[in-house]
A and B are shown apart, each in its own frame.
Chain A
């Protein structure tokens, strides 16, 4: 355990302690704890800046499951540090922001902050771990916590729907990721990322290399919402705004980018990696920017813009992989794409965080996020206006903001492949600048419209008479700091270029610095009249034109087909799987425990029978048989006879006495088989058990006198006979096969020498295997308490009064009833049920009739404006559209 480990795990620690801290200091908003912790970790991480900046990473290892080669190794290089600082830095701001945003009186804050802290810890662990399996563990933990955070308002349908969607999609990708990691292990024999870097060329020629790459990219693409896996991100906007600002702009969605950057040294240099990553990124960039424009929800705009920006960074990561196949000057040209990616990563976190928080402020103050109802807010909310302006301009790539510089570097990078001439780029390279330019134009348009439609122009009707004012200081401070940073990053990019960006880019492309030289940094505001600058000027010119005429060409969106969409595919396949699952499950889960026992037995027979049949090492020949004395014959036959008689006994006492006699005969058997301890124990236990049965009968005489024979059932009989025969075979096989020396020789040898006891059985029980014995008496204790509760607790309830009892019983029955109803759709014996499983209901409910059909006061408003619905998000016939809009409006 080192300091770095503790820093990584500290959010988890605080998450555990938070409920208690909240109790201890009830008046303090719990967000302060989260903010303080993030600030502390952030400050501590800053301390590593100098070391890591010099290119000397820090490694701390801690064996976790040594037998499986899994260690929790913390590896802090430039890339990890950049992400860790973003995670904790944004963490501080988001925590501060949430203190003002989350209402302590209305919401359960402990839950919120526990999720948030666990998420932060998982993110930190993800970017800092050097072992693929721990990385995967943290990766899934971010998916789970993100699910919990998106569904934080779990009383809302859309929240649950969005949460489930993000969980299913990112988890599916996570499974791909795990398979990819395991394939990497199969190829290289190591889970350590550092060692994989060194595996090098033999890895590339391995037949599993491509599958591993595709599977890992599946994980990265689903997490980073790349087309066509982006569909969860817009629905995730149901999360409280601080969560959106944190997870869906700065941290979680960036985990996919981190993974691609982290894996670059392994995969970069192959054509497949280059094309999948860069083309996937480009498509996402274009799609996101185009789709963003037709959103009407502020957070919806930001969601699609995030998708698009993630695509931008992804394509840069893909382009930077070209650095792996060139050297000298050319290599540095392509490596610049990697630098651009790292810089834009930071820029995006800054401006998108600011914009999300601004959207939250607008929502908080006006009660709506619908851009069609907003307007003219600049006079009443000047600070928020400035923040949004800075953020949007940085996003649009307008000087002098940080986004301008990274956008320039991006445009530079997309021109570069024109000269590459590898991977078929000589024919297709023109694609890159064209797509990038078009996407930039759209980015410019939606960024500008985001600000101007919200803050300028006249006030719209619904908000005309509402008193709107600036948000409280604590709410404005975090986005203001971010907006300021966007400006600083533009004016003085040198502040981060050498300390943060260069180590990160170098860590991503170790091949560039292999010769010992540092990566040159070319991050500055003025590059001279480069092609990129001309492209930007063209973007601004066309963008302004398009923004002014937006109403004329918005109608074009109506031509995009809506029926065929990825979201529809998702909904339909989810319903399909739900249906199939219910059908299949109800085929065998029929509610009768007898059937379940038969399944278990059947499976056991199948497995055991197969092993006995197929294994060649098993012999049924016993070496030397022990002699049977005549009296032993009597006992053995008596044992069998007593057992066989039990099912034939008509009355219960007879059956019990027969079973008891089997027990007593067992006692004799133990005597003959030289087990005195067992004989003694069995005798006493049998006596006490029989007394116990008799006591039960004493209280329930009817149970004793009721005579019911066991009805003969052929299937049961056959199953029983089959198991019996099989077990005889097993016993014979066990007797005839002795592949190992018995371990008990050790006990016989050491019993007196090291444990000082002569009764070997007792020594084993209390000394050699003392732990087992301790757990055993615990089991006994649990059984005794269970029995005590079954009988006594009910008695106490009776003492209080019958009405109370019935009420209480009712309640418990209700729970069971509800459970059964939920589980099988009805109570009573289970038939084939087609009712929906409760947890998955939200999907079907959305598409059937929306149950929360509230009066929509703004319906006239919606009709007078152009159709806003996203072809990808919904089907116009269903309620999805409307409830989606409502979700946006009512989410105040």
Chain B
């Protein structure tokens, strides 16, 4: 179904999608220090994919990203759960996080935080849920 035949929109979105995705990535990683985090990044990534779907059509999105988003949701939930359970191994309460500062090549002193694992779970779950909803409705006829 040649739904999105707007060449202008298609060409712009090709670039914009990557900008949005990069921005989402940035929001995700700086979430602990400045505005951002798993929720926002997840919604924004889903928004980028949605833009792609509007500019082209859903089949194209399916082809470009051949992932079942239900599974992304499940994986996200699992990561969040496991990230939380990890602290149990150290005799700490569920979802207790730890962090430290490390010298990494290229990046210099960096803060590494187990909360990021949990946030990754949130991110994946939000992307998965949003895309599942959108694609499900979009593909209905």
Contact = CB atoms under 8 A, between A and B. Distances in A.
Question: Are A and B direct contacts in the complex by CB distance below 8 Å?
Answer: yes
B134 A692 contact: yes
B95 A774 contact: yes
Contacts of A676: 35
Interface residues of A, number: 40
Interface in A738-787: 755-759, 761-763, 765-767, 770-771, 773-774, 777-778, 780-781, 783-785, 787
B113 A787 contact: no
Nearest to B70: A788
B40 A763 contact: no
B77 A781 contact: yes
Nearest to A698: B138
A680 interface: yes
A777 B47 CA distance: 18
A688 interface: yes
Contacts of A767: 95, 97, 115
A685 interface: yes
A778 B80 CA distance: 10
A758 B136 CA distance: 38
Interface stretch (B8-16, B59-67, B119-127): B119-127
Given A677-B37, A759-B35, A784-B70, A766 B137 contact: no
B34 to A, nearest CB: 6
B50 A699 contact: no
Contacts of B39: 681, 765
B133 interface: yes
Contacts of B111: 756
Contacts of B80: 773-774, 777
Contact of B47 (A687, A755, A762, A791): A687
Contact of B34 (A758, A785, A791): A758
B32 A758 contact: yes
A695 interface: yes
A684 interface: yes
Nearest to B76: A777
A778 B136 CA distance: 19
A777 B27 contact: no
A785 B115 contact: no
Interface in B28-48: 31-40, 43-44, 46-47
B81 A765 contact: no
A563 interface: no
Contacts of B97: 755, 766-767, 770
A757 B116 CA distance: 11
Given A688-B47, A691-B50, A680 B121 contact: no
Contacts of A788: 70, 132-133, 136
B36 A787 contact: no
B104 to A, nearest CB: 16
A695 B134 contact: yes
Interface in A675-706: 676-677, 680-681, 684-685, 687-688, 691-692, 695-696, 699
Contacts of A780: 73, 125-126, 129
Nearest to B31: A762
A527 interface: no
A792 B136 contact: yes
B124 to A, nearest CB: 9
Given A685-B43, A777-B121, A777-B126, A757 B73 contact: no
B129 A781 contact: yes
Contacts of A787: 132-133, 136-137
Most buried by A among B37, B43, B76: B37
A791 B113 contact: no
B134 A759 contact: no
A761 B119 CA distance: 13
A781 B125 contact: yes
A757 B36 CA distance: 12
Contacts of B27: 680
A781 B95 CA distance: 20
A784 B33 contact: no
A768 to B, nearest CB: 10
B132 A784 contact: yes
A773 B70 contact: no
A157 B130 CA distance: 52
Interface string B77-104: 1001100100000000011010100000
A680 B40 contact: yes
B125 A684 contact: no
B120 to A, nearest CB: 10
Contact of A759 (B36, B130, B136): B36
Given A695-B138, A788-B70, A774 B133 contact: no
Given A684-B40, A759-B32, A762-B32, 12 more contacts: A684-B46, A691-B50, A692-B134, A756-B32, A759-B37, A766-B37, A770-B95, A770-B97, A771-B84, A777-B76, A783-B129, A784-B128
For the complex of A and B, 6 pairs with smallest distance between CB atoms: A676-B35, A756-B99, A757-B32, A770-B95, A684-B43, A777-B125
